[in-house]
A and B are shown apart, each in its own frame.
Chain A
Amino acid sequence: MTTEAARSSHPIYFIGAFATGGLLTFMVHLNGELARYGNPLFSSWTAHGTGIIAAVILLLVVHRRRTPRLEKAPDAPWWAYLGGISGAATVILTSTAVNSPLGLSGTLALGLAGQVAFSVAADSWGLFGLPKRRPDRRDIVALGLVVTGAALIILFGRGAA
């Protein structure tokens, strides 16, 4: 049962995911600063450019010490390389929506809804080559609590007097 094996996974994955959520706050802030001096396209373009440099440096450091893999996973399909296109397109859509009557909070809240709907669909059907994990009642309750809490912060908490 691969599904059950995945359910008793190590807490390090949960800590890692939560910690990168924290990194996201600082990334959004820094990219926002860059967009304030330039524009959203410049900000995203520069972030991707400096990201390439950082990734190459990290790969040189990490992969020098890496022992070769014993089991070779099958090659990635061509579409798995398109995550960057999807990420780049996000910038265009969200910066358009932010400058509409929705504003920042409306865009963030609706983006949250889109992300949650996609993640439930992705797990339910095992979309794009990742394992299928039928979300159970506890997943839905957990998600409901997190989304309600996030919506409360976005719509009524942050930046409100």
Chain B
Amino acid sequence: MTVFILLACLGGVLVGLSRQLNGRLSVSTTPLIASFWNHAIGFAALTCLGLFVGGLLPAGAAEAPWYAYLGGPIGVIFVAVGSWVIARIGAVNSALLIIGGQMVTGVAFDYISAVPASFWANAAGIVLIVGGMMVSRGRRKAGGAQ
């Protein structure tokens, strides 16, 4: 169990590390070029892994709907914007806002798709997230006025 806890935490660390490295690359190039390399190097690494362990072309894959393949192009925009903002507002603010955006739209998405959900937990969660983002922005307004 401890191993799985560590793996899950490390997964989060790698998300942050990836954004940090892509952000550094975008400083020397452009955010879109950083996003291109992120996908090209990731694709190469996953191809090597797939050739080693197998499973790159699973049997049921052909039945997936066409729109399921749009995750990749969305990811290009996601990585490009992430690289653009992290170099300007820092890792903490980037993480804070991206997590906030993900959670708020995630809750909205579940309500639209009629996934059973706890209204009060979600509502309280969104209030805390929006409150957190307002605290973060408030300091910047005060700083900008000086």
Contacts and interface: CB of A to CB of B under 8 A. Distances in A.
A29 B109 contact: yes
Contacts of A34: 61, 64, 68-69, 71
A113 B7 CA distance: 12
Contact of A133 (B22, B92, B121): B92
Nearest to A88: B42
Given A55-B39, A90-B15, A107 B101 contact: no
Contacts of A107: 8, 11
B36 A59 contact: yes
Interface string B15-33: 1111111111101110011
A83 interface: yes
B127 A149 contact: yes
A144 B9 CA distance: 17
A15 B146 CA distance: 23
B130 to A, nearest CB: 8
Contacts of B131: 145, 149
A120 B91 CA distance: 7
A62 to B, nearest CB: 6
A138 B136 contact: yes
Nearest to A102: B4
18 contacts: A9-B88, A17-B94, A17-B98, A21-B102, A23-B77, A25-B105, A27-B78, A41-B50, A42-B56, A48-B43, A56-B36, A111-B12, A139-B139, A143-B95, A149-B127, A150-B100, A152-B121, A156-B118
Interface of B: 1, 4-5, 7-25, 27-29, 32-47, 49-50, 53, 55-58, 60-61, 63-65, 67-79, 81-82, 84-107, 109-110, 115-118, 121-122, 124-129, 131-133, 135-140, 143-144, 146
